[in-house]
Structure 1
Amino acid sequence: MTEIQDSKFEKFFSRLPEKSHACVRFFFRNDYYSVYGKDAIFIAQKFYHTMAVVKYLERSISSFDEKNYSKEDDAFVNLSFLMFESTLRELLLSFQYRVEVYGRDKNYNWKLLKKGSPGNLQAFEDDLARNSEISTSPIVLSLNLTVINNQKCIGAAFSDTSSGKLAVCEFTDNDHFSNLEALHVQINAKECLLYSEDSNPDKHKLIKILQRSGLMITFRKKEEFSNKNIVQDLNRLLKLNASSATLPETQLKSAMCSLAAVINYLELLSDDSNFYQFELSTFDLNLYMRLDTAASKALNLTPSPLSGSNKSMSLTGLLDRCKTGQGRRLLERLVKQPLLDVAKIEERQNLVELFVEDTILRQTMQEEHLKKVPDLYRIARRFLRKQASLLDCLRLKEVVARLPALLEVLNSCASPNKFVLDEVFSSPLKELKVDFEKFVELIETTLEYDEGEHEVYIKPSYDEDLWAIRTSMEDIKTQISKQLQNVASELGLIPDKTLKLEHAAHLGFFFRVTLKDEKVLRAQKYKFHTLETQKNGVRFTNNVVSTLNENYKALKSNYDEKQSVLAQEVIKVAGGYCEPMISLNEVIAYLDVLLSFADASVNAPIPHVRPKILPIGSGIITLEGSRHPCLEVQDDVQFIPNDLFLSKNDTCFVIITGPNMGGKSTYIRQVGVIVLMAQLGCFVPCTRAVITVIDCIHARVGAGDNQLRGVSTLMAELLETASILKSATENSLLIIDELGRGTSTYDGFGLAWAISEYILKDLNSFCLFATHFHELTAISNDYPRASNFHVTALTTDNKLTLLYRVKPGSCDQSFGIHVAELANFPPDVLQMAKRKAAELEEFSSLNNENGQEQLEGEKLIDDFLKEVIERRIMEMNENEAITSLNEMKRNLLLKNNIYVNSIINSVQNK
């Protein structure tokens, strides 16, 4: 850059508004990208993993604010195009950051070129999809919170630009915003829009819950949440014209305000390619099983940063055997939307069973067909934005041309469930095949693929003028080829061996000899003109070839111009097939997901089985030989299966005790994962399974401090538990692990007991409760539907052996010191721990004895007072009363209760 341009950049940079730490600014420099200041340090550390790439400006771009100057402000890092794309992908899809890209216009003035966020990837679609598919959907959620009759009402709207979907819904919520949390999990939103001008205390609570869920929050002006022009806007965006009668505006005014904010934020109306391409629906929370954020994390539904490259550590990764990008996006959504309708679950099961049983069908579909299908929605978007190429036309044609073979494979199925296969896949594919017949005919007539140049061209035979130009070009190429023979004779060289005819874009046609034969050329240099000298030889030409070259270039330019006009016509016609293209994309994606379910079931260490599904309210969950699907596939793991039998008429509340690391947490989580898989339509890791449809899964597992938000371990788990108690129903499954930590043992046990009693008495939900409060097992004495189970372990010679079997009955110790021994604690520490534990047990035993004495004594006193009333001592004369009381006193002393005797002695002493 010149000094003037440097100066322009410095002034522009210094005037940029302050940004959040979760935003990175890139500056496009034509051949590379640059980042500055704290962004440079961040990029160096997180993506280059070295500070060696960091350079420092000679002239500080921060010199305009010398008071706050630090050397870090002078740092900068340059990124190649390839590095920029990989960094961009990680920032938007993994780190959940915002990105801004700045560049220069033709006057060298700097300006914002494009920006994006986790929920708004539109500006970066091409960058993200250039070298790899986008397997996640960018979903923006917008919320409008109001209070009506002391009830919290939420109007929500969201957009998925990867599939052209808009949706709205309205619902009332409790103090813990449980319905909102369920909505967030179901739609898998990446970003949430809220208006900033609001002092509502409920709004602050809502923000904390959204932040706890890991959702990026973007504040917008309140004016953007106005549905004043929503009908007009939707008339331009929806495939069918909208009207006030057809829109849910009358009933869902608050949600339509949120939808207006989504449209404004994504700038959908500023891009003509969005017009008439979206669908609007009303989202129903009650169509799917509800999951809170804690349950999603506890069941490991999606990959976490700790899982690294091991996909099978999460349920989504385990089930992801998809071959297409659209299939992976759909899978990510379906895992968060387990079905409640038994008929729909069984329909999926029928299809998965069909693919499980027919190995040839499954493998043929995956390896020979789906593996070669591109992301059709991305291609459709390029057509809509008028950015498509002839290669996109050809790729679409190849997919459509594959449909007859794909249908033939589907028709070869001999399963009794083939009617479901025909209804869900074969029939729609047949209709789409008919829709694309004219398109295939057009492409076959007009396009040809040059394998040598990897380019797609218009066939010369398609247009008379094109054919004439092409014929002239071929004639010139023939004349140039004859020149090879002539020049070879003149130089005494062998054509195509020591003398070669070649072509390059900047030189046209030319001859080449090796450096060894260059002396032959030098001898007749008056006949030939040297063009270039390189390591592989000397490039030269003669007058005839030069003239022919010029003619060829003129014809080629004319040919390209004519072909470009024809290509645009072909692309325009192909763009009219966007709607069937998107429909085909959806069918392919669903087929890919169900094949993936089947593949995961078959290739598990022990093949999964089809569960029997019972309607909601049936009150039975039976799992025989159940295993955790993610753990059993880990290397060097021999998983121990366990059974579970839950019934609302017998046992619906299970307390699991046992040693640390004995498998309690794994057991209760695997039950949740299996139930969820069953309602997805998957097969499950059991030898036999009967599962009643569950309306929601709530989890209180593994809480920890959240110091940044001022939330302690106890507060975190109590917030989650409070939400569970508010929103769970008798058809819910509750998974509670180690409730009551982070406070005193007595307080923790008191909370655990009270919560357990509330679940048994008031909720009547299915509940699995893992605990180290062994006293909690006594609750089964008061409530027959509560049962005690324990994970088994053996202690021999003071050594602990974990068996990982879940058996009936309770366990009276936690083996914590044995686990410390497994962790290689120093022997002195272990001895001290054993000594102190023994002392505490003795103290606790004494306290328990005293406590028992007091309870018995209080009962004796109550009985004594009852007898006084029954004998009507107050109605006796003095002598009779004294005689009767002395008799009762002697009987009371004969009980020899320490508590009673101490009271009597205390009274007598006075």
Structure 2
Amino acid sequence: MPKHGKYRMESKALSFLRDALTAKQLRVEIWKPAPGQTKKASKFVLEKEASPGNLQAVEDLLFVNSDILSAPIVMAIKIVSASADKTKTKTVGIAFADTSIRQLGVADFVDNDLFSNTEIKSLIIQLSVKEALIPTGTASGNTDRDIDLNKLKAVLERCGVVITEKKPSEFTAKNIEDDLMKLLVQDPGSSATVGNPQTISQLSLPVAPSALSALVNYLSLLTDPSNHGAFSIRTHDLSQYMRLDASALRALNLTEPPGVYQSKCYFTWSPHKCKTAQGTRLLGSWLKQPLVNLHEILVGHRQKRGRNLVEMFVDDSSTRRNLQDDFLKFMPDMHRISKRFKKSAASLEDVVRVYQVVLKIPGLIANLEGTQTEQDDYKSLLEEIYLKDFREFNENL
């Protein structure tokens, strides 16, 4: 076969694989001929497998020439039943992971017997969950656990989440303390986090650690040495954010590809118009997690600083356009590339793209320094958030 024909076939195969995992929400297995087999092989062995929430085995194939615009979030769910005052309640423990930025998260909440509260659906929408791990049912299929799992499956299917069933024995918190001590990054400004499991506040939750154990095992995080000391963990507080349903997201054009509901889109600054892949993912998460605390919105330290930065770049349209067209437009997905370097799997193309970013840093600093604003505190904020770090990076290169 001519080289150009072989290249075209490989390109189509990768396009099909990417579409199957990210658009069609399908599981994929890649098989290869068993050792000793010829071209007309009759025996094959499983080489790689992937699912919408776990792309680690194939992400180097899928995103060589394209970026991940939506993070592959996978969630594990465990339910524990309890009875109080003749009312059946369910304590739901949830753990989720975003391997693209190496972050773990947990949440615990109480739901009723019918799962009619909106916590699970809201969490799925806020995080853009692609896949959910749940325990398998019993052989008889008639126990209370089976009934609960069937109700949970119905909720997940309505949200368009791929369901993966795992053994109930994997949903135990027996070894999660040791696993987290290996995975979590040590905070240089604190003696907490890794040295002592008691300082990891997430382990004190009643059910979530069991779900987290199943999640870590499913993603095989410990088998990759580059993951050791690289992950962070947080507790997701559902009460901080507005609860959006799937119809609201579709109406605002926050879930479909560009052009599907373009005429009905109320957000002309939707994630599809971001200049970088990491910006698309970040803005998408912000839009799906609107704050509901008025004090936090108006006075909160982080939100106030963000508003000031936005106002500064809105007022100085010349600097904003220069940053977008001359710098951000050429920025690759640094999260993905840095992960490839940590795994010692970076290609020559990755090296070149990082080198091109390095060449852009002096100009980026000069443009930021030239930002026009009459507010002294805005200048101090620009220095603190951007210029200080960029100058340090530039000096170390």
TM-score of the superposition, structure 2-length normalised?
0.83
Between the aligned partners of 1:274 and 1:330, the Cα distance in structure 2 is 22
1:235 counterpart SS class = helix
Cα deviation, 1:603-644, whole Å, max 9, x if unaligned, reads xxxxxxxxxxxxxxxxxxxxxxxxxxxxxxxxxxxxxxxxxx
1:326 aligns with 278
Residue 153 to residue 85, structure 1, CA distance change in 2 (3 Å)? same
Specify which of 123, 135, 138 is matched with residue 69 of structure 2. 135
Identity %: 37
Specify which of 163, 167, 170 is matched with residue 221 of structure 1. 167
2:48 aligns with 114
Cα deviation, 1:537-572, whole Å, max 9, x if unaligned, reads xxxxxxxxxxxxxxxxxxxxxxxxxxxxxxxxxxxx
Residue 310 to residue 208, structure 1, CA distance change in 2 (3 Å)? closer
Stretches of structure 1 that go unaligned for 5 or more consecutive residues are 1-30, 34-78, 441-910
The Cα shift of 1:391 comes to 4.5
2:199 counterpart SS class = coil
- Which structure 1 residue ranges, 4+ long, deviate > 6 Å from structure 2? none
Cα deviation, 1:475-510, whole Å, max 9, x if unaligned, reads xxxxxxxxxxxxxxxxxxxxxxxxxxxxxxxxxxxx
The Cα shift of 1:227 comes to 1.0
Say whether the 8 Å CA contact 1:138–1:160 is kept in structure 2. yes
2:198 aligns with 245
Specify which of 1, 5, 28 is matched with residue 99 of structure 1. 28
2:151 aligns with 205
Say whether the 8 Å CA contact 2:305–2:381 is kept in structure 1. no
Q: Which amino acid in the other structure matches residue 326 of structure 1?
A: Q
Say whether the 8 Å CA contact 2:309–2:382 is kept in structure 1. no
Q: Which amino acid in the other structure matches residue 166 of structure 2?
A: R
Between the aligned partners of 1:145 and 1:378, the Cα distance in structure 2 is 34
Stretches of structure 2 that go unaligned for 5 or more consecutive residues are 38-42, 187-193
The Cα shift of 1:115 comes to 0.9
Between the aligned partners of 2:358 and 2:211, the Cα distance in structure 1 is 39
1:156 counterpart SS class = strand
Cα deviation, 1:192-226, whole Å, max 9, x if unaligned, reads 11001253233322221111111111111111111
Say whether the 8 Å CA contact 1:101–1:113 is kept in structure 2. yes
Between the aligned partners of 1:243 and 1:286, the Cα distance in structure 2 is 29
Q: Which stretch of the first structure deviates more once superposed, 405-414 or 271-280?
A: 405-414
1:415 counterpart SS class = coil
Residue 429 to residue 84, structure 1, CA distance change in 2 (3 Å)? farther
Q: Which amino acid in the other structure matches residue 344 of structure 2?
A: K
Specify which of 18, 34, 51 is matched with residue 89 of structure 1. 18
1:373 aligns with 2:331: yes
Between the aligned partners of 1:312 and 1:411, the Cα distance in structure 2 is 38
Say whether the 8 Å CA contact 2:106–2:202 is kept in structure 1. no
Correspondence 1:61-72 to 2 at 5 A: none
1:414 aligns with 372
Q: Which amino acid in the other structure matches residue 330 of structure 1?
A: L
Q: Which amino acid in the other structure matches residue 129 of structure 1?
A: F
Specify which of 214, 230, 236 is matched with residue 277 of structure 1. 230
1:255 aligns with 208
1:214 counterpart SS class = coil
The Cα shift of 1:251 comes to 2.4
When the two chains are superposed, the root-mean-square deviation of aligned CA atoms in Å is 2.6
Between the aligned partners of 2:385 and 2:259, the Cα distance in structure 1 is 41
1:163 aligns with 2:109: no
The Cα shift of 1:296 comes to 2.9
The Cα shift of 1:290 comes to 1.9
1:338 aligns with 290
Say whether the 8 Å CA contact 1:194–1:217 is kept in structure 2. yes
Between the aligned partners of 1:316 and 1:116, the Cα distance in structure 2 is 33
The Cα shift of 1:298 comes to 4.5
1:896 aligns with none
2:49 counterpart SS class = strand
What is the number of equivalent residue pairs in this alignment?
Answer: 362
Say whether the 8 Å CA contact 1:144–1:254 is kept in structure 2. yes
1:178 aligns with 118
2:240 aligns with 287
Cα deviation, 1:521-542, whole Å, max 9, x if unaligned, reads xxxxxxxxxxxxxxxxxxxxxx
Residue 402 to residue 422, structure 1, CA distance change in 2 (3 Å)? farther
Instruction: Mark the structure with the bigger radius of gyration.
Output: 1
The Cα shift of 1:339 comes to 2.2
Residue 314 to residue 208, structure 1, CA distance change in 2 (3 Å)? farther
Between the aligned partners of 1:169 and 1:156, the Cα distance in structure 2 is 5
Q: Which amino acid in the other structure matches residue 168 of structure 1?
A: V
Between the aligned partners of 1:405 and 1:115, the Cα distance in structure 2 is 43
Say whether the 8 Å CA contact 1:128–1:134 is kept in structure 2. no
Residue 417 to residue 312, structure 1, CA distance change in 2 (3 Å)? farther
Residue 318 to residue 89, structure 1, CA distance change in 2 (3 Å)? farther
